[in-house]
Amino acid sequence: MTSQTITAEAAGTWRLGDRTVHRIGFGAMRLTSSGAAFGGSPADRDRSIAVLRRAVDLGVDHIDTAAFYFSSLRSANELINSALAPYPDDLVITTKVGPGRDPSGGWLPWARPEQLRGQVEENLRQLGRDHLDVVNLRSNGAPSLAEHFGALADLRDAGLIRHLGLSNVRAHHLEEARAIAPVVCVQNRYSLDSRRPEADDLLTLCGAQGVAFVPFFAIAGEGRESGAHTTETPELTAVARAHGATPAQVRLAWTLQRGPHVLAIPGTGNPDHLVENVAAGALRLSDEEMSRLDAAHRP
């Protein structure tokens, strides 16, 4: 499919609280390293900055990041700050708290409620902002998130955060959080070949409640942090060929067609892949193609 002039507008829009964003966004995790997400050699800084600026030029107005997105010599938040500050008025930056890493990259224990303010302030410092647009509380699998989400709600009331979301959660976490404060998005792992019935149910529940559902690893699928697939099923390859598209573009199109409230945040440090990802917002799959892909990739 022709991608050079397609912008994020082609994907349509959805709401994040009182903000409206294009349904194709950008994930910053892969900006910091030329290898796997948290390993490999440092990414070329100028190239990463150029990718961020090109994303905004293409109409991307929703960027996902985190203070723990860093590798040797590179920080996603610092790259975003350097590339885009002073930030466009329509740009929504979403970050995550809960996990943390020490300066040498080792993972720390999941934050206690009283430590979340420090994580929020760390993101504020790195991004050069006085408030965060959206903060997602990323679960560690705990049965209850009430105390942690309540701590973030207090920071929202204090003006440090504009909107709250959740990440890596189940349906009961969403209900628990919504009883404390409004939830604008749920960010969970979800892709053509990694979804489960409970994930489909949560996606549907979010749509019924007007909550954005934001899949991560929509392209990588089971590859997760290691990156995208090197081989694809014959069904996916055939659909891609029929549209003159790449398999990655078909995966993104399938993701977006799961519901009007689904927002994609594909990440890349490759400027050509960025253009292809944004162009996927214009790709429309038929009902028959969606059914074929579902059947071929049923877990």
69 is catalytic: yes
Helix (H) or strand (E) holding 76: helix 76-84
Identify whether the C-beta of residue 83 lies closer than 8 Å to the C-beta of residue 49. Answer: yes
How many Cβ atoms are within 10 Å of 57's Cβ, its own excluded? 10
Quote the CA–CA distance of 255 and 253 in Å, as a whole number.
Answer: 5
HSE-CB at 255 with a 13 A cutoff on CA atoms is 36
pLDDT digits (tens, 9 = 90+) for 229-251: 567 999 999 999 999 999 999 99
Q: pTM for the whole thing?
A: 0.94
Q: Which of 14, 26, 68, 69 is catalytic?
A: 69
Max mean pLDDT among 9-13, 34-38, 40-44, 104-108 falls in 9-13
Domains and CATH numbers, the chain: 8-296 (3.20.20.100)
Residue 115's nearest CA partner among 93, 94, 136, 99 is 99
pLDDT digits (tens, 9 = 90+) for 150-169: 999 999 999 999 999 999 99
